[in-house]
Amino acid sequence: MAVAAGEAGDWSYWRVLRSGRLGVLLAGILISSAGNGMIISALPLLALQLRGRLPAGLTIALVQASPYVLGTALALTLGLTRLRLAPRGLVLADSALSSVMFILLGAVAATGTLTLWMLVSGLLVGSVFRIAATSSRRLLATGMTGPAGQLAVNGLLGTSASLAAYMIGPVLGGVVSALAGPGVALIIDGLTFIVMLGAACYAVPAAPRARPAAGTRRAGPESGLRILRVIPPAARLFAVVFWFNLLYMPVEVALPLLVRGPLHGNGAALGLIWSGFGAGAVLGGVATVWLRRVPRQRLLVLIIAAWAAAVALLAFSPTVLFAAVAFFLGGLVYAPFTPTAYTFVQSMLTPDEQQPVVTLWSAGGVLAGPVGLALAGPLVSVTGAEGGLIASALLTIALVPLAAIGLRRAGARARAPGRAETDAWT
């Protein structure tokens, strides 16, 4: 049966928030996202303190890429093979490991004995479950509502992440880093994962292990890659998301250098600019459910074009306030992108297909992180902060016509026989 564009959004945000255990889980995600937002400001500042003789751009890129490496490897394993790990177990494991590692790294940094390579190693190990757990949190939350609540839940996840990770968190991280040091911000981030651990334990009770009936043989699960092969629209959208995320990465490297250099700002200024992005993303996230009837492929292409314009505006910012306004506009137009993309993909999957495909989807999107950062470090080192931002904007604009062609074909292409049709996506 076809899933119409509007049918996936029958639930309102308010109905989701009133849904008992789901509300607790979303609150835990919100708090841990605020902790992650704090280290958006703190990690680049800590990296610059520890860089020694390494170029600043390369140092920031190295530290920012570290949390992605092992986490991407595990997520790709789950998506490309038939290995399955329970979503609840992944969320608990990530919360426990992250709390221990960030508190430890923060404590060592506070004593003044942390080295750059200790920081990189800690981020590598502490984030091994991060990507798989992120997709698992999404699966657990959307699984509590069914298809009718998927868009609302995905929209709330995006809105809470924007509010906490890009609006509240960076300001707190910048202020805490300026007053007490970046190490204290890492400790607070670790404490927020303890809250996430408790929320997941309460909201998602352990499910009993299903036993196959006597005399039956349980079929092995399909890999996410195999499932994507029979859903070409999802594969095309996967490619668009990957390149969009990759071309964003010069912003992560260039922004701290733009603040410290041409804008003559400090950690608090960096936090203010990220908060501008978060404020815009909150408004854009709230508006996501109002855009449910806009053709989704058209919406995604418009978001890519508008984001490129916002980055170009950021590159020519004369003041910190101007940069915060530019990033506010960027957050406003970007916010509906992820909820729209995830809702489309999930609407095409059966429950058994959700984990491998969504995890592979998340891993592929996140894989753009270290690849993009590895390319962004040398780019920004050579061109400077403004040059790196201009390059990011121009390459993203070049993606627009390619995305328009690919997503138009995706919108018109039906799924394989026996699955829901994708015509309604257009």
Q: Tell me, what CATH number does 405's domain have?
A: 1.20.1250.20
pLDDT of residue 10: 67
Q: Is residue 142 part of a domain?
A: yes
pLDDT of residue 200: 93
The closest of 70, 150, 166, 84 to 366, measured between CA atoms, is 70
| Global pTM value | 0.70
Q: Is residue 409 part of a domain?
A: yes
Q: Is residue 217 part of a domain?
A: no
Map tokens 């190693």 to a residue. Answer: 121
Q: Is residue 216 part of a domain?
A: no
The SS3 call for residue 327 is helix
Judge whether 263 and 323 are in contact, CB under 8 Å. yes
Residue 297 CA: distances (Å) to CA of 256, 309, 368: 33, 19, 21
Structure tokens given for 65 = 């890429």
Q: What is the domain range of residue 304?
A: 7-205+223-416
Q: Is residue 237 part of a domain?
A: yes
CA Rg value for the chain: 21
pLDDT of residue 349: 73
pLDDT of residue 157: 84
Judge whether 67 and 124 are in contact, CB under 8 Å. yes
What one-character DSSP code corresponds to residue 210?
P
Looking at the structure of the chain, the number of domains it has is 1
Residue 261 CA: distances (Å) to CA of 13, 123, 311, 314: 41, 27, 17, 14
Q: Is residue 135 part of a domain?
A: yes
pLDDT of residue 221: 59
pLDDT tens for the chain, 426 residues: list them: 333 334 444 677 777 777 788 889 998 999 998 888 888 888 888 888 888 888 887 888 788 888 878 888 888 887 777 777 888 999 999 999 999 999 999 999 988 899 999 999 999 999 899 888 888 888 888 888 877 777 788 888 877 777 777 778 888 888 898 888 899 999 999 999 999 999 999 988 876 554 544 443 344 557 777 777 777 777 777 888 889 988 998 898 888 888 888 888 877 788 788 778 878 888 888 888 777 777 777 888 899 999 999 999 999 988 989 999 999 999 899 888 888 877 777 777 777 777 787 777 777 777 777 788 778 888 888 888 889 899 999 999 999 988 888 777 555 443 443 444 333 333
Structure tokens given for 314 = 């950021």
What one-character DSSP code corresponds to residue 372?
H
DSSP string, 224-242: HHHHHHT-HHHHHHHHHHH
Q: Is residue 110 part of a domain?
A: yes
Q: Is residue 74 part of a domain?
A: yes
